Amino acid sequence: MRISRPAIVFVLAGAILAALYFYYARPPSERVVLLPHPDGTRSAIIVQSKTGATAVLDRPYSVATISKTKIGSDQTDEASVKTRYKDLYDALPARTRSYLLYFETGGTRLTPASEKFLPVVLGVLRDLKDMPASELIVIGHADEVGSEAMNDALSRQRALSVVNLLKAKGIDTTHAAAVGRGSRDPLVAVRKGAAEVKNRRVEIRLK
């Protein structure tokens, strides 16, 4: 059986039109995955499609699948994400991990909340043995109470106290750097002389 050239052209044109219709009527869906923070703290994002549909991702490895007409929700896990996006994970630079510990006023004593959070930090820092190229930087801060010179000294004392605490807990601090920033980098802007617990802090930076 012979098929005429016009018939072949017609069939090919029909196939192309069908493919174009399928693509534009049902375009490939986009996929958004919420990754956890390195320190395990919770986060959330709102995903919105072009048509205004929304979905809230508020659990680690929750997934939003965005199509033209709707947003679907799903849940995955770390192993599945690393397998599916292996090339992307391999290309990513190491993320800087940052942890904050807060202090009681005027000294180097941690607040009760930071005492409870400390085991989380220690658990992460114990991985240093598997990260030979990592840097550990401990940065002390003070609030606006007291003179600039006093806060410079206090912020460095806080940084050193955390380095000593980490060392006492079995963390390798041989190459740790401790610096004090005084009251120069507040998290919360307050008037001079005002106490603010979020400014009395030490940042532990691992990269």
Per-residue pLDDT of the chain (207 residues; tens, 9 = 90+): 454 544 444 444 444 444 444 445 555 578 888 887 655 566 788 888 777 788 888 888 888 888 877 888 888 888 888 888 888 777 766 667 789 999 999 999 999 999 999 998 888 887 666 555 568 899 999 999 999 999 999 999 999 999 999 999 988 888 889 999 999 999 998 888 889 999 999 999 887
Report domain extents, the chain.
Answer: 28-91, 97-206
CA-based nearest residue to 29, from 66, 64, 57: 66
pTM, two decimal places: 0.58
How far is Cα 108 from Cα 158, in angstroms, rounded to an integer? 5
Burial of 90 (0-12, 13-18, 19+ CB in 10 A): exposed
User: Which residues lie below 8 Å from residue 105, measured CB to CB, with a gap of 6+?
Assistant: 143, 145, 195, 197, 200
* Cβ 101 vs Cβ 110: under 8 Å: yes
Burial-class residue 137 by CB neighbours within 10 Å (0-12, 13-18, 19+).
middle
Q: Which CATH architecture has domain 97-206?
A: 2-Layer Sandwich (3.30)
State residue 165's pLDDT score: 93
Q: Which of 36, 97, 46, 93 is nearest to 73 (CA)?
A: 46
Residue with tokens 């050193």: 160
- pLDDT for 197 equals 94
Nearest to 169 by CA among 101, 104, 105, 107: 101
CB burial of 102-122 (b: ≥16 within 10 Å; e: otherwise) equals: bbeeeebebbeebeebbeebe
Contact 170, 147 (CB under 8 A): no
79 CA to centre of own chain: 18
